[in-house]
Every structure is written in structure tokens, then in C-alpha cells.
Amino acid sequence: MTGLTDADVPAWTERLGLPGLYDVHVHFMPSNVMDKVWAYFDDAGPLIGRPWPITYRFSDEERVARLRALGVRRFSALPYAHKAGIAGYLNDWAAGLADRVPEALRCATFFPEPDAAAYVAKAIDDGVELFKVHWQVGGFDPRDPQLDDVWGTLAESGTPVVVHAGSGPVRRNHTGPGPFGEVLRAHPRLAAIIAHMGSPEYAEFLDLAERYERVRLDTTMAFTDFFEADAPFPRDLRPRLLDLVDKILLGSDFPNIPYPYAHQIEALVRLDMGEDWLRRVCWENAAALLD
């Protein structure tokens, strides 16, 4: 199948017999923060490393409408703290979004700082369903002692956390499978979702998903032409995608993608893993984890 457009996606989902798409890697943030994120992409900043146009640069309301039109029936917000002192503001804002938008998961973030364990525990008590942490942007070490109780609390509660642990698009001191692998050795029950399939260290992050019961991966931007140009997913690893069928979740990075949303779906289809694999990835695995 080639040439899938955004308008085609709902009919494609219906043909699979799904109620819609379940996207665990969507970003919503306060407009002042999102504007700065978009400006960084526009400038192809040092952590981006290449031209990266934003396809869905719209207001929150219009982006929600676009997701609904695509048939995305459940989606995350995934704010991420890039420095100390901002997580509380982002978490309060994301809670308000979840209150306004029934399809939005209640999401939160954290950063290595003295009160991180306290506000993460409170967020869980308040019903947060999914966390996001991004040390490729934040430049911190996931093994920071200030995060040890955070990881422990998340592991004990079973609350999932999307982690940008891979070294794409630009490697930093604490990216890659080594640092986060140490976190998992200390907290083997952590329910982690490895963003971007762990790009570009695909094999090593697949290893972690095989080793740890609660580790999963999301498809965000993986297999698309944009990622394949710089960090192609090795063909010899594809059989492992079938072996890990229950541990792979749909992610898109909407709205911060340089192509139409439908291209992520098309990229999954052309892997030729079969309709059952697509059903699990596009809805069933996330629904089982989060609903």
C-alpha cells in the first residue's frame, strides 16, 4: 500500500476492525513552551541536527480536531521538563488538558531535583496514567541519585513512563542503552516505553525489552522515510518485531513531525508483519497497558 493520506486513515483502521488508533507518543504543552520547541526545530538546533519542519503547527484545539479526524481515539500529552523547576507547571497544565479532552491520557513529567520523588508520588495519587522523561534534551543522567526514588515509585505503582533513552537524533553523554540499562537493573519492574524504538541503538533496546517483562517500545518515527535516511532499522532485526508483538505500541510524535501522520501508519504497513501485528500495535497493546 502506498500513498495513504490522512483522510484515508479512519477507513484503514475500520478495515482492521479497530475502534481507532491509540497513540502513546503525542505532545501537548503550554503554548509558550510549545512555541519555543517549534522555534528550536525551525532553527535545526544542536539537538536536532537537520532540517525538521513541523507539519501540524496549529492551536491545541485544532490539533485535537486533527487527531479526532484521523481516528486517534486515545492519545498522550507527554510534556517533558528540560530543566529543574518546570515539571510542576507542565504537570498542572497537562492535568487541565486531560480534564478538557476526554481522549487525552493524564500525563506528567519529572526532572532530577530534590522534590521529584514527592511530586511524582502525588501525580500518581492524582491519577496520572503516563509519564514522559527526555534526558536527550534535558542533558541529565537517568542514574542521578535524585531519581532513584522516582524510578522505585514508578516500578512499585506500575505507572508507565515513556523514556527517550536512545541517542537519536544526536548522541549525548547519557543516551544509549548503557545508562538506562543500569536503571532497569536497579528497578527491573519499571514499566518503561522506549521512545523511537530506541533509535539508533535498535538491537540493544530490543534486548532490554526481551530481558525485562515491563519494558516496551513505541514506533515513534521509526520505519518512516525520514528516520530510514539517517538511522535505518536493520532488516535482520525485523523477525524480533514479531517476537515482541505484545510489547510494541503505536507512537507518532504528533505534531512535531516533518510529514503527514498517515506516513507513520504507512511505514508500519510496509513492514509486512500482518494484520494481527498491526491490530496489536495500533490499539490492543496500549489499551491493555493503559486502560
Count the Cβ atoms, other than its own, within 10 Å of residue 107. Answer: 28
Residue 179 contacts residue 141 (beta carbons within 8 Å): yes
Q: CA–CA separation, 202 vs 170, rounded Å?
A: 15
Instruction: Give the mean pLDDT of 164-173.
Output: 94
Inform me whether the pLDDT recorded for 185 exceeds 60: yes
* Neighbour-count burial for 62-93, b at 16+ CB within 10 Å, e otherwise: ebbebbeebbbbbbbbbbbbbeeebbbebbeb
- pLDDT at 49 (0 to 100): 86
- For 244, the grid coordinates are 515482541
Residue 27 contacts residue 254 (beta carbons within 8 Å): yes
State the first-to-last Cα distance of the chain, in angstroms, to the nearest integer: 31
- pLDDT at 171 (0 to 100): 93
Amino acid at 130: L
- pLDDT at 284 (0 to 100): 98
Q: CA–CA separation, 177 vs 92, rounded Å?
A: 31
Instruction: Name the residue among 17, 65, 92 with its Cα closest to residue 280.
Output: 17
Residue 102 contacts residue 132 (beta carbons within 8 Å): no
pLDDT tens string 186-208? 999 999 999 999 999 999 999 99
- pLDDT at 138 (0 to 100): 95
Q: 3-class SS at 172?
A: coil
- pLDDT at 261 (0 to 100): 98
| Average pLDDT in the chain | 97
**In the chain, what are the domains?**
6-290 (3.20.20.140)
- pLDDT at 91 (0 to 100): 98
Q: CA–CA separation, 94 vs 97, rounded Å?
A: 5
- pLDDT at 1 (0 to 100): 43
Amino acid at 169: P
pLDDT tens string 218-260? 999 999 999 999 999 999 999 999 999 999 999 999 999 999 9
Residue 78 contacts residue 290 (beta carbons within 8 Å): no
Q: What percent of the chain has pLDDT over 70?
A: 99
pLDDT tens string 99-151? 999 999 999 999 999 999 999 999 999 999 999 999 999 999 999 999 999 99
Amino acid at 138: G
pLDDT tens string 48-90? 989 999 999 999 999 999 999 999 999 999 999 999 999 999 9
Q: CA–CA separation, 140 vs 5, rounded Å?
A: 38
- pLDDT at 2 (0 to 100): 59
Q: CA–CA separation, 98 vs 160, rounded Å?
A: 17
- pLDDT at 3 (0 to 100): 85
Burial-class residue 143 by CB neighbours within 10 Å (0-12, 13-18, 19+): middle
Inform me whether the pLDDT recorded for 154 exceeds 60: yes
Instruction: Name the residue among 279, 184, 268 with its Cα closest to residue 220.
Output: 268
- 84 conformational bin, left if phi > 0, alpha if psi -120 to 50, beta if neither: beta
Rounded to a whole number of angstroms, the CA Rg of the chain reads: 17
Tell me the C-alpha to C-alpha distance, in Å, between residue 222 and each of 190, 202, 226: 23, 10, 9
- pLDDT at 281 (0 to 100): 98
